[in-house]
Amino acid sequence: MKRTLKITADGSHTFHVSDIDESYHSLHGAIQESLHVFIKEGFLFHPGRELRILETGFGTGLNAALTCMETGKTGKKIRYDSLELYPLAANEYSQLNYFEKGTRSREIFIRLHECEWNRSVNISPLFNIIKLQCNLVTCELPGKYELVYFDAFSPRAQPEQWRTEIFRKIHNAMTSGGVLVTYCASGKVRRNMEESGLLVQKIPGPPGKREMIRGVKK
């Protein structure tokens, strides 16, 4: 997979994948998108004090790093399961400019990338992660989740990840009242989520995107 470093509108980096003509983040702002979609409308929206989170696409590690930092502000205790089939190499993630070098945030970001795959690792007293190198379509989900960050590439690039069967699989792995958030707001995706059993709501999206979706397990 060939990845090219790009700068988004808020000054933060993303990677563009030429094979599928797709970027890891919104070109309107990588950090802005992650903060709005996954932190504000997912992590901070869920009232639970202890959450097991499923992320479909570790990618650049931005969502995981921002979530880890939020635990220090909120006191929430997190078990974070992240799926990724094509991890970034050290010479790729070391280029990303998300956090200022020499800061605790940067240390956390690098540690998240460096920690061993398929093994549970404590990043802080409040944040435990296991990165699973697998494909969402074929893998078995290992837990019951209060919160899901659905962050696959777009339905155009990865249609197999957005089928009703995939959302049903996730729905079955969610706790009652569990929340799923995603940047996508297409009508087909919304219908697929509803068919899986999720109660779906369109809400305001991040900069450059009018809407996004949040689903709740009834």
- Whole-angstrom Cα distance, residue 1 to residue 49? 38
Domain boundaries, the chain: 29-217
Per-residue pLDDT tens over the stretch 114-144? 999 999 999 999 999 999 999 999 999 988 9
Nearest alpha-carbon partner for 145 in 180, 197, 184, 196: 180
State residue 35's pLDDT score: 98
At the fourth CATH level, which superfamily is domain 29-217? Vaccinia Virus protein VP39 (3.40.50.150)
State residue 1's pLDDT score: 81
Per-residue pLDDT tens over the stretch 183-201? 999 999 999 999 999 999 9
Per-residue pLDDT of the chain (218 residues; tens, 9 = 90+): 899 999 999 999 999 999 999 999 999 999 999 999 999 999 999 999 999 999 999 999 999 999 999 999 999 999 999 999 999 999 999 999 999 999 999 999 999 999 999 999 999 999 999 999 999 999 999 889 999 999 999 999 999 999 999 999 999 999 999 999 999 999 999 999 999 999 999 999 999 999 999 999 99
170 contacts 141 by C-beta, under 8 angstroms: yes
State residue 143's pLDDT score: 86
pTM: 0.97
